Structures are given as structure tokens and as C-alpha cells.
Amino acid sequence: MKTKIICLGICFALFLAACSGTKNYEIANSSADSARTDAKTDTALTAPKLIKTAAMNFKVKNVQRACEDVSALTMSYHGMVMHHAMQSAVQRSYDNPISRDSVIHVSSYNTTADMTVRVPADRMDEFMNTVGKMAIYINTRNMDIEDKTLDYMASNLKVQSRSEIIAQQKTNNIKIKSAESVMALKDDLIDQKINNRRIDYETKYSTISLSFYQTNTVAREVVVNDDPSSFRVPFFTQLRNSLANGWLGFNDFVIFLANIWVLFVFVGVVWYSYFLYKRRQVAKLA
């Protein structure tokens, strides 16, 4: 009987030891997992936040074709075209008349384009090298790196601090009397989070500014002559028209005189009467 009791006691002691070991093992594992999580968080916070930007100016054979190639290349790199503008400016022009109503318009114009693209930061150098192969030659190429690590860490610390204050305010551990102060604290917390997300995005995707141009192009086209002076009637045609107009005017004048023949008769009668009157007066004096 005593032997059985001793055996049961030994078994119970072993069971308690096993449970205690399992519990300690679970606590140890939990501590290790927590340590690994904290280590990952610290690594994420202290990871370098490098923002890369680049710019390139170069000459190409055809600006329009280069724009299409750059857009396709950006899509293949899983990037995005943020800005695209192409323009042409006339440098010189000349009009050569070929008839009274048509001229050959010859113009020399320059075509340029500006593009802003975003590509994954780890492939920026590869992208720039590929674009450089499209150029006849490169005028300028530069790259800048801005370290935002400390700004990112400072913003994260501010987020944690404000989150703790807001959490304590909800549990009434801290009382903030002014509602405006609470709103300002929450707005600042949102601004810090948005700032960190902006830094994360700019760290992940690099911004590249591209400007390129081509050799001046000469274009020839037949256009309508818009100079009114070129449509003047030739001299001899004007002289012939003037003589014809003069004859027509003379005809009109004769017809006008014919229309007022009564006036001429009346003037003749008045003049003849006056002439007879004067003659009689002379005769009386004689």
C-alpha cells in the first residue's frame, strides 16, 4: 500500500514538472515571437528611406516615336507616365507665290517633348540606361538621392506618441478639455501618417524627368494666298475698264441733258425776251 502511494506521488510530481516546463516553453516562445516582431518593427523603422530622382536631356531622331517608346518602356517596368507634353515651334518660314491665289509655304520648325515618369526605384538605373540607348546623344543626365530616414523615424515616433495620448484620452486617463485640441491632435496624427505613406511611396517609386528634341524639320505645303493685294486687277485691264466706265458716264450725262430739255427751252425763251427788251431800250435812246 505504501509502495502504491509513493508511486502515485512520484507520478504527480513528474506531471507537475512537465506542465511547468510546457508553460515555461510557451512563455519563452511567446517572448521570442514578441522579440522577433519588435526586431522587425525596429528594422522597418530604421531601414533607409532613400528617395531617388533623376533627369535627362537628349536628342532623338523622331520625337513622336521616342514618346511612344518611352511610354511603352515605362509600362513594361510597371511604372506610370505622370506628365507628357509635346510641342512644335516654327523657327523660320517663307512664302513663294506660284499663282495669284496660291503660294508654297515653306517652314522650318523644332519639335520638343517633356515627360515625367515613375518607375520602381530598384530599376531606375536600368530604365535610364535603356532610355539613353534611344538617344543620338545625351546633353545632360543627373541623379539625386535624398535621405528621409530620420524624417520617417521622427514621424513614426510622433504617430506613436499621439496614438498613446488619444488612447489614454479615450480611457479617461488623460483629460483634454478643449475639443479643438483633440481635433488638432487627431489631424496632426493623420498628417504624420500621410507623410510616412508619401515617403514610402516615393522610396518605392523614383521620379524621372525626361526632355528630348530632334533636328529641325522642313515642311512644304501649297496654301491659299491670303494677301488681298495680290488680287488687284492688272493695269491694262483697269485702263480698259476706266474707258468703258467713262463712255458709260458720258452716255448717262447725255441722257440726263435729254431729261431736262424743257429747262433749256425755258432758259432760251427768258434769254431771248431779255435780248429783245434790251434792244428796244437801245432803240428808244437813239
Averaged pLDDT for residues 31-39:
45
Confidence of residue 189 (pLDDT cuts 50, 70, 90): confident
The Cα 219–Cα 199 span in angstroms is: 48
Report which listed range, 22-26, 38-42, 211-215, 258-262, is most confident. Answer: 211-215
Confidence of residue 169 (pLDDT cuts 50, 70, 90): low
Q: What is the pLDDT of residue 286?
A: 64
Where does the chain show beta strands of DSSP type E?
A: 50-59, 80-99, 102-120, 137-147, 205-213, 217-224
pTM: predicted TM-score of the whole model, two decimal places: 0.58
Q: What is the pLDDT of residue 65?
A: 94
pLDDT at 23 > cutoff 70 = no
pLDDT at 47 > cutoff 90 = no
The Cα 144–Cα 52 span in angstroms is: 6
- Give the other-Cβ count within 10 Å of 188's Cβ: 13
What is the C-alpha radius of gyration for the chain, rounded to an integer number of angstroms? 51
Q: What is the pLDDT of residue 45?
A: 54
Confidence of residue 172 (pLDDT cuts 50, 70, 90): low
> Taking the chain, what is the end-to-end CA distance rounded to the nearest angstrom?
206
Cell triple for residue 221?
A: 505645303
The Cα 1–Cα 201 span in angstroms is: 76
The Cα 222–Cα 94 span in angstroms is: 12
pLDDT at 180 > cutoff 80 = no
